[in-house]
Amino acid sequence: MYSLILKGIKNTALKTKDNILIEVKNIKKSFTNLHTIEDISLTLEKNQFVSILGPSGCGKSTLFDIIAGLEKPDRGFVFIGGHQFNGRTGRVSYMHQKDLLFPWSTILDNVCVPLILKGLRRKDAAIKAKKHFPAFGLEGFEKSYPSQLSGGMRQRAALLRTYLFAEDIMLLDEPFGSLDAITRKKMQMWLLKIWEKINASILFITHDIEEAIFLSDRIYVLSERPAIVKKTFDIDIKRPRDSSMLTSSAFNNIKKQIFELLY
Ligand SMILES: Nc1ncnc2c1ncn2[C@@H]1O[C@H](COP(=O)(O)OP(=O)(O)OP(=O)(O)O)[C@@H](O)[C@H]1O
Ligand SMILES: [Mg+2]
């Protein structure tokens, strides 16, 4: 019932303080001689899908490391659920840009890692993880090894592992970056479907303008390094979305605006 209500308000999320899950305020970050992030602020509301789009090397992954608490900002704050989280880990599920599965472990053992880290016994972790295999298109592949899966399946296994970390906030750093165009489109459709079911709030990094528009409620377009937010786009295109959206005038209008901003 609660999930239905949340789904119903997904497109009309009230912009109240209570609804904000992640608030990044005026983050600045340099590495020794490299001024990476100049000033980034953003918000992620409950059940939103928010993308970050920007040139290679502008600091997108660094920003995720800061939100996940793996790096500390030189200035600024990360608030999660209203609490300050600078330098604190463990609150978000984070799929790194190069999130590899352990080649020597089965898919089931791979996705059980976060549950075991959380203290579940191996047997209980397996029972919990297995329940999600059908939704993630992995049923029947529990005992397979990563090398026996297609690229898309490996990405779905990595996504399931990420999902099992904390379940409600997910940071996904270019999860489909290495996939061919057809598989990538299929994965985008699949991600939208699964996201509607799991009530997660997602921050998503991509280089792909179409992918960002197709998936997102909001897009933050970043500048070259040192990064600032160049522009924010609210994507008020109704959900559920399907491939017909890709040829709509609303879609192409936003695409043109973002393209002109980046190139
Ligand atoms: N731990 C680190 N120490 C020193 N420099 C770093 C570190 N992490 C990242 N950098 C540098 O910061 C800059 C931004 O890196 P980052 O990985 O955040 O970029 P990005 O926007 O994610 O790029 P891409 O789109 O190619 O993934 C890069 O020049 C990188 O070399
Ligand atoms: Mg990166």
Closest CA to 45 of 68, 77, 11: 11
Q: Whole-number mean pLDDT of the chain?
A: 91
Q: What is the pLDDT of residue 16?
A: 53
Burial label, 186 (beta-carbon count in 10 A; 0-12, 13-18, 19+): middle
Specify the DSSP element, H or E, that contains 30.
strand 20-31
pLDDT band at 99; cut points 50, 70, 90: confident
Average pLDDT for residues 237-247, to the nearest whole number?
92
Contact between 150 and 176 (Cβ < 8 Å) = no
**Which residue from 35, 62, 98, 220 has its CB within 8 A of the most atoms of ligand 1, so it is best to mutate?**
62
Per DSSP, the three-state class of 194 is helix
pLDDT digits (tens, 9 = 90+) for 207-240: 999 999 999 999 999 999 999 999 999 999 999 9
Q: What is the pLDDT of residue 18?
A: 75
Q: What angle, rounded to 10 degrees, do the helices at 107-117 and 151-166 form?
A: 20
**Which residue from 34, 51, 97 has its CB within 8 A of the most atoms of ligand 1, so it is best to mutate?**
34
Sheet of 93-95: strand order equals: 83-84, 75-80, 20-31, 34-45, 227-234, 218-222, 49-53, 201-206, 169-173, 93-95
Q: What is the pLDDT of residue 196?
A: 87
Q: What is the number of alpha carbons within 13 Å of residue 245 lying toward its C-beta? A: 22
Position 83 pLDDT exceeds 80: yes
Report which protein residue has its CA nearest ligand 1's atom 10.
31
Pick the more confident residue, 196 or 149.
149
Closest CA to 164 of 198, 207, 196: 198
Class of domain 2-98+169-262: alpha beta
Q: What is the pLDDT of residue 30?
A: 97
pLDDT band at 198; cut points 50, 70, 90: confident
Average pLDDT for residues 185-193, to the nearest whole number?
93
CA 241 vs CA 106, 160, 235: distances in Å: 34, 22, 12
Report which protein residue has its CA nearest ligand 1's atom 31.
57
Average pLDDT for residues 146-175, to the nearest whole number?
92
Q: What is the pLDDT of residue 17?
A: 66
Point out the ligand 1 atom lying closest to the alpha carbon of residue 63: 18
Ligand 2 centroid to Cα of residue 164, in Å, is 22
**Which residue from 27, 30, 33, 36 has its CB within 8 A of the most atoms of ligand 1, so it is best to mutate?**
36
Report which protein residue has its CA nearest ligand 1's atom 24.
56
pLDDT band at 166; cut points 50, 70, 90: confident
Tokens read off for 30: 């340099």
Q: What is the number of alpha carbons within 13 Å of residue 55 lying toward its C-beta? A: 15
Which residues, judged by CB distance below 6 Å to any ligand atom, belong to the binding site of ligand 1? 31, 34, 36, 54, 56-62, 97
pTM (two decimals): 0.91
Position 10 pLDDT exceeds 60: no
Point out the ligand 1 atom lying closest to the alpha carbon of residue 97: 27
Ligand 1 centroid to Cα of residue 110, in Å, is 27
Q: Which residues contact 33 (CB under 8 A, 6 or more apart)?
A: none
What are the residue ranges spanned by the domains of the chain? 2-98+169-262
